[in-house]
Structure 1
Amino acid sequence: MSDAMSPAAEQLIRAVGLVRFVAGRLLLVRADYQTAFYLPGGKIDPGETEVQALHREVREELGVGLVGADFLGRYLTDAVGQGDGVQVELACYTGELDGAPQPAAEIAELAWLTRAEYVAHPVTAPAIVALFADLDPM
């Protein structure tokens, strides 16, 4: 049996993201090599659960701990900047931050954006647009 991934598996990125709304604004981050804003989070490493990956990513990207992790939903959309046919399966969780988030690791910028501000941005991630459509508190 081969260890090679099937072509379909190579076209799917499994990731987790933290959904944190405050005063109608969603916490988003932009990596130094990207133009789009995303949820804090990232790819799930082999052997990690979604919750373990979320805690690790929040600590790495925001420099704070995560208190709790409640599953919110799952989005399957095209992946931004990953080439044609690549999709992302984004598992979204809510939770409280243990401290004030600051950009860390590969994160160049942190922003609290409303749906209108995000959609007006020149580059948007389809998963975040879908999330806003489902959860926009305004």
Structure 2
Amino acid sequence: MARIRTRIFQSWFRLSRPMTLGVRAVMENAAGEVFMIRHTYTPGWYLPGGGVEKGETSIESLERELLEEGGFTLTAPPDLVGIYSNHFVFPNDHVVLYRARPGTWTQGEATSFGEIAEAVWADPLSPPEGTTPGTHRKLQELFAGAPPSPYWAPQR
């Protein structure tokens, strides 16, 4: 049922918005791990984030999503890593990626219930099995020196 809802929602987005914009964050802790989430409504491990809502800036969206999904509050501006085409998901989708290093955030309780199935701190060079291709690609670029790509996910 959750997958059907996701497909309906994605189809509505394609029809109602000619371009979509999302945000994601690489949240790093002092041990060099990154925070990753698994949603209840779609398979795979992701970096925290989500869609930019009408009237929000990308930073406002990021702050909202980080609080909802991981209980994070930014205490300093995150680094802008890049803006990537995500045509693998939607024809006109883009993802803004930020990086929040240790000491630039605090963590409390997540405020969104029912959306996140699981959350872990993971080694960025050995993320959990089932990490999405786009997430894996960006972790390889940031932590393993893979050549940067303008695309979020590897192209088919």
Calculate the TM-score normalised by the size of structure 1: 0.71
Say if 2:96 is the partner of 1:98: no
Per the TM alignment, residue 56 of structure 1 is displaced from its structure 2 partner at its CA by 1.0
Per the TM alignment, residue 134 of structure 1 is displaced from its structure 2 partner at its CA by 2.2
Contact (CA 8 Å) 1:24, 1:136: kept in 2 or not? no
Per the TM alignment, residue 124 of structure 1 is displaced from its structure 2 partner at its CA by 1.4
Secondary structure at the counterpart of residue 76 of structure 2: strand
Structure having the higher strand fraction is 1
Contact (CA 8 Å) 2:75, 2:105: kept in 1 or not? yes
Number of corresponding residues: 128
Amino acid at match of 2:58: E
Higher relative CO (CA 8 A, sep ≥ 6), structure 1 or 2? 1
Per the TM alignment, residue 101 of structure 1 is displaced from its structure 2 partner at its CA by 5.5
2:63 corresponds to which residue?
A: 55
1:28 corresponds to which residue?
A: 36
Contact (CA 8 Å) 2:63, 2:73: kept in 1 or not? yes
- Aligned equivalents of 2:84 and 2:76: distance in 1? 24
Secondary structure at the counterpart of residue 141 of structure 2: helix
Query: Out of 24, 28, 47, which is 1:17 matched to?
Result: 24
- Aligned equivalents of 2:109 and 2:126: distance in 1? 20
Amino acid at match of 1:57: E
2:81 corresponds to which residue?
A: 73
Contact (CA 8 Å) 2:84, 2:96: kept in 1 or not? yes
Secondary structure at the counterpart of residue 33 of structure 1: coil
Deviations 1:33-88 (A, max 9, x none): 122111111111111111111111111112342222223312425467x46x4644
Deviations 1:4-49 (A, max 9, x none): x998x63x43111221122232111111112211111111111111
Identity across aligned pairs (percent)? 23
Contact (CA 8 Å) 2:26, 2:97: kept in 1 or not? no
Secondary structure at the counterpart of residue 46 of structure 2: coil
Query: Out of 125, 130, 148, which is 1:122 matched to?
Result: 130
1:112 corresponds to which residue?
A: 121
Calculate the TM-score normalised by the size of structure 2: 0.64
Q: What's the C-alpha RMSD, in Å, of the aligned pairs?
A: 3.2
Amino acid at match of 1:112: W
